[in-house]
């Protein structure tokens, strides 16, 4: 990764003064370290041996684009250092509700929130318009807790096209992709989101501001709804799944169902299923984040992905048999991991 220029650093320092990353695991620490290497004031929120390593040695990123190491503030109690101008929430979807009191204490009246979750985000139907305006999916936001907690006008959505792994405490292995697409729920833009994009770009990331982030969300769901749960169930890498013609056929079936649900709410995907699968194939022998969670015995993030597709299909009258079958098998796997 090329070092940021003086002009890039100066441009984004005026946009925001302080960042916090809640959930500084593989993705969160990578983004936080990238911001910090460009001079941003960043605090990483983590726990355990990973936190201890970051406090002692900073964050080391290993990447084919160039390794780097950066000292960065790290804590298990960011409420003591806040409030922050921008909070990047890099937690799994099912972890968010439990962190609401902490995030509230870390915020001031104008704090921007950037949720970096897979699947359908809780804010998806806020500032959406049409008959589904304000819809809160139970699979994503039970009881609408998140929708009620966050002002959609202070949200910056984010779709991640980046693969990273926590290789060791304090050490992030960047595997592929640096794109973090940004967008407001209303599709507009303002100096703040432009400043965040500049800060991320200065740190070596790609951060385009999208007027239609929802189509990017569905493009990501195509892969997450098909590849993640199947990899968790079979322990196969992405390349391993796509080498098996029967599994590839199932992946295509799930992607076709997701495309139909997306089309029913007015989303035209920017690439075909063939291109989406070709892109996944190029990632190679990578373990999906859900498979990594299985191997570590962690709760799985599936309700906001396949669960949301199934729930929306039911609301809209779109059949989703393949997605539904894989979803319930993944739920059983998740239950077995918690026993």
Instruction: Give the strands of the sheet with 18-22, arranged side by side.
Output: 73-75, 41-45, 18-22, 84-89, 107-115
H-helix segments, the chain = 6-13, 26-37, 48-57, 100-105, 145-149, 191-202, 213-234, 238-242, 245-264, 273-283, 289-295, 308-316, 321-338
220 is annotated as an active-site residue: yes
Place of tokens 């079979």: 234
- Output the six-digit token pair for 229: 């749960």
CB atoms under 10 Å from CB of 268, counted, come to 10
**242/251 Cα distance (integer angstroms):** 8
- Output the six-digit token pair for 286: 């990578």
**41/18 Cα distance (integer angstroms):** 5
**172/166 Cα distance (integer angstroms):** 5
Q: Of 43, 55, 48, which Cα lies nearest the Cα of 86?
A: 43
**50/284 Cα distance (integer angstroms):** 27
Given 73, 92, 220, 287, the catalytic residue: 220
Q: Taking a C-beta distance cutoff of 8 angstroms, is the pair 102, 42 a contact? A: no
Taking CA atoms, 84 is separated from 9, 43, 98, 104, in Å, by 19, 9, 19, 10
- Output the six-digit token pair for 317: 């009258």
- Output the six-digit token pair for 220: 């990501």
Residues known to be catalytic: 220
């Amino acid at each position: 990764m090329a070092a940021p220029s003086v002009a890039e650093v100066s441009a984004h320092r005026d946009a925001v003064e302080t960042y916090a990353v809640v959930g500084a695991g593989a993705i969160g620490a990578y983004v936080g370290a990238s911001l910090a290497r460009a001079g941003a004031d960043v605090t990483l929120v983590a726990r355990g041996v990973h936190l201890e390593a970051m406090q002692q040695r900073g964050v080391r990123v290993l990447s084919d684009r160039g390794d780097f190491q950066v000292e960065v503030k790290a804590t298990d109690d960011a409420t003591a250092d806040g409030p922050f101008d921008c909070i990047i929430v890099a937690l799994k979807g099912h972890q968010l509700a439990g962190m609401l009191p902490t995030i509230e204490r870390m915020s001031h009246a104008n704090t921007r929130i950037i949720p970096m979750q897979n699947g359908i985000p809780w804010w998806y139907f806020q500032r959406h318009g049409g008959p589904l305006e304000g819809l809160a999916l139970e699979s994503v936001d039970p009881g609408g807790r998140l929708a009620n907690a966050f002002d959609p006008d202070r949200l910056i959505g984010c779709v991640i096209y980046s693969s990273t792994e926590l290789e060791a405490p304090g050490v992030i292995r960047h595997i592929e992709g640096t794109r973090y697409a940004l967008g407001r729920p209303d599709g507009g833009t303002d100096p703040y989101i432009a400043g965040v994009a500049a800060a991320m770009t200065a740190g070596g990331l790609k951060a385009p501001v999208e007027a239609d982030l929802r189509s990017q969300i569905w493009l990501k769901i195509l892969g997450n709804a098909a590849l993640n749960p199947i990899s968790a169930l079979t322990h196969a890498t992405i390349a391993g799944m796509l080498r098996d013609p029967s599994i590839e056929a199932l992946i295509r079936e799930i992607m076709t169902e997701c495309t139909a649900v997306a089309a029913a709410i007015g989303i035209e995907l920017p690439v075909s299923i063939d291109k989406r699968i070709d892109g996944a194939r190029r990632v190679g022998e990578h373990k999906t984040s859900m498979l990594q969670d299985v191997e570590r015995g962690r709760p799985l993030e599936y309700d906001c992905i396949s669960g949301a597709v199934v729930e929306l299909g039911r609301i809209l009258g779109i059949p989703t048999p393949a997605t539904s079958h894989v979803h319930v098998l993944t739920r059983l796997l998740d239950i077995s991991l918690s026993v």
